[in-house]
Amino acid sequence: MTDLDLARFPRLPLLGLPTPIEPLAGLTRELGAALNGVQILVKRDDLAGFGGGGNKLRKLEFLLGAARDSGADTVITVGALQSNHARLTAAAAARNGLKCELFLTRSVPREEAAYTGNGNRFLDDLFGAQVHELPGEADSFAAAEARADALRGEGRTVYTFPSGGSSPVGCLGYAACAAEIMAQVEAKGLDLAQIVVPNGSAGTHAGLVAGLKALGRDPKLAKSYAVLAEEEAAKAEVLAKANATLDLLQPGTRVEADDILVDGHPRGPGYGIPTDAMRAAVRLMARSEGMLLDPVYSGKAFGGLLRDVAAGLYPQGSTVLFVMTGGSPGLFAYPDAFSDAAG
């Protein structure tokens, strides 16, 4: 089975689907024997839609569908200062005539002008969102809910959703992606050893796990590299969100802790803090493929995948699919991380 019953959920089309699966001929040529005969393919969710593109549009299809169904005139969400999700929420809201407010925390210890005013943060303003900046330790979702209540008191209809759009409704976007991937790989005659994604708010991995399980596939086909929470906390978050998504898709169907594969090594010293492996992965993809990985999510995750391939985690002849989740505007917030002094 390669299809899910998603027609019963409100959905606002935002993407041109399916996004393509492509080989990495330049990277294969560059790395040669270091790949140990493993083929890495990429699922180009970075090409999705508008607003700078990226995987969050999959979640926003269902989140904004639910918002529209509720009669909302305003959407509010939260994230870090350079949140890709916040940027795409602002863009999608603008495209669909919704007011948008963002509660963004300074949760990364960076104060340079490029970080505080460029990249996603610049685009939030350009897309017309009202931005509320909070200290890193603030409870941004509580602040967002308080603001929503105040707006409702003024007669507005408000729909709120959490960081990364990773509510059960938002995770339906990647359950749908699991079905899309399975249909594509069957059409291409591929046998995937792994589908690999970055893990920030856990929704992309959780949605894939839920989708695979609902399709009767092995949920361990999906694996993530944690870049926000530490490994065990990230695994617990994926498990909880995958089961909450299955409650919507197939009530009574569950996944267990052993079904969740998360590697926390690429996170490094913390969320949004550059690592040497991230820098190397971003440069490699740029210089061999002309493709842009972001420095917070996909750069760290792809670095983790390259490390695992080099370590022989996948047998010779295996095919691994890396989901390119986008986020390239974030590169413009980190120019100093790629200076000669930074390695």
Six-digit token string for 89: 């929420």
First-to-last alpha carbon distance for the chain, in angstroms, is 47
- For residue 214, what are the CA distances in angstroms to 178, 221, 243, 252, 253? 10, 13, 11, 11, 8
Helix and strand tally (H, E) in the chain?
Answer: 11, 10
d(C-alpha 221, C-alpha 216), whole Å = 12
Instruction: Find out whether 282 and 295 touch, Cβ atoms under 8 Å.
Output: yes
- Catalytic residue from among 70, 83, 201, 339: 83
Cα gap 129→90, rounded to integer Å: 6
Whole-angstrom CA distances from 172 to 60, 169, 194, 321, 335 are 10, 5, 20, 20, 34
Q: How far is CA 143 from the centre of its chain?
A: 23
Helix (H, G, I), strand (E, B) or coil at 121: helix
Phi, psi (5° rounding) for residue 196?
-120, 135
Nearest to 93 by CA among 63, 121, 54: 63
CA 248 to chain centre: 20
Q: Under 8 Å CB-to-CB from 133, ≥6 apart: which residues?
A: 81, 104, 105, 106
What is the C-alpha to C-alpha distance for residues 260 and 257, in angstroms, rounded to an integer? 6
Residue 83 annotated to the active site: yes
d(CA 303, CA 272): 14
Q: Which residue has the tokens 């995987």?
A: 55
Quickly tell me which residue has 């995948």 as its tokens.
305
What residues act catalytically? 83
